[in-house]
């Protein structure tokens, strides 16, 4: 029988000797270590959680068997988890996130690109339990809408980096929730690429209420060149340079309007 080995690198305490874990797969079910449809489900995460209790980071991209039971096993054994990538894990739902978030309260980064079951119930769980969350990637999660972002922003007050690229049901209400979220130290990066319901109203809210914002991607939204000009004027009037270290940097706005227009506001 032929086997291949999948190596995952984990960010562990320097005193821990468990830097790698090897999970054998039958070659018939594993095309390539980094290819989609990897068979790394319940048994693999159970084995991991039994050995690597100080695990800080794990990437489970396209591990199609990962679901509530698997994440429960991981969270029970790895309560210090800070960074998890679940992109392409099609079975992860609100119950899965509840099992993870309640046992791993120190989560700072969550990536769920192309996850079909992301909804308001899941984002409500994250907002309620992930108080230290700084970065979340929900790109191409088509179940994400304004209510989802309201639930997220209502609880996660430390958000710095939010990716909603391709979330076609996200509009101005979601942006307002982020702008009024009273983030500390503040929102730095926001990706709204392909959010066709986001208008210049949302851009004005961000300009007025998010002085720490450095990078904003609005390609594919309703924002026009005139909207960018108006934002530039608001920025000048408000005096960004006097609002902390972020004020010394450029703010970049990537806008789709007869092509891509990039404008820097200082």
Q: In CATH, which of 3.20.20.70, 3.80.10.10, 3.40.50.300, 2.40.37.10 is domain 134-266?
A: 3.80.10.10
Structure tokens at 78: 């790895």
Helix (H, G, I), strand (E, B) or coil at 182: coil
pLDDT for position 237: 65
Least confident of 11-15, 158-162, 195-199: 11-15
Least confident of 6-10, 96-100, 146-150: 6-10
The domain ranges of the chain are 1-89+96-101, 134-266
What is the sign, positive or negative, of the torsion defined by CA atoms of 53, 8, 136, 246?
positive
Helix (H, G, I), strand (E, B) or coil at 192: coil
pTM: 0.78
What is d(CA 240, CA 245) in angstroms, rounded to the nearest whole number?
A: 10
Is the pLDDT reported for residue 155 higher than 80?
A: yes
pLDDT for position 71: 94
Q: Rounded to 5 degrees, what are φ and ψ at 216?
A: -135, 120
How many other CB atoms are found less than 10 A from the CB of residue 119? 18
Q: Rounded to 5 degrees, what are φ and ψ at 117?
A: -100, 10
Residue 31: DSSP 8-state: S
Is the pLDDT reported for residue 240 higher than 60?
A: no
């Amino acid at each position: 029988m032929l086997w291949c080995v999948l190596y995952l690198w984990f960010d562990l305490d320097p005193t821990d000797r468990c830097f790698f874990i090897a999970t054998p797969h039958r070659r018939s079910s594993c095309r390539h270590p980094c290819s989609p449809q990897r068979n790394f489900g319940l048994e693999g995460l159970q084995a991991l959680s039994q050995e690597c209790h100080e695990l800080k980071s794990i990437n489970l991209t396209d591990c199609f068997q990962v679901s509530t039971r698997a994440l429960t096993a991981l969270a029970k054994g790895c309560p210090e988890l800070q960074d998890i990538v679940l992109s392409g894990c099609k079975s992860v739902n609100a119950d899965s996130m509840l099992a993870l978030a309640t046992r791993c309260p120190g989560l700072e980064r969550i990536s769920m690109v192309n996850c079909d079951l992301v909804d308001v119930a899941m984002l409500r769980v994250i907002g309620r339990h992930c108080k230290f969350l700084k970065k979340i990637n929900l790109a191409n999660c088509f179940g994400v809408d304004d209510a989802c972002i309201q639930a997220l922003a209502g609880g996660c007050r430390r958000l710095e980096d939010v990716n909603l690229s391709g979330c076609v049901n996200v509009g101005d209400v979601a942006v307002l929730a982020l702008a009024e979220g009273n983030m500390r130290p503040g929102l730095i990066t926001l990706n709204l690429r392909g959010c066709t319901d986001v208008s210049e109203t949302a851009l004005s809210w961000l300009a007025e209420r998010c002085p720490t914002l450095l990078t904003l991607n609005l390609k594919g939204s309703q924002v026009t060149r005139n909207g960018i000009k108006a934002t530039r004027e608001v920025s000048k009037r408000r005096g960004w340079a006097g609002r902390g270290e972020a004020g010394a940097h450029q703010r970049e706005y990537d806008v789709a309007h007869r092509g891509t227009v990039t404008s820097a506001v200082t």
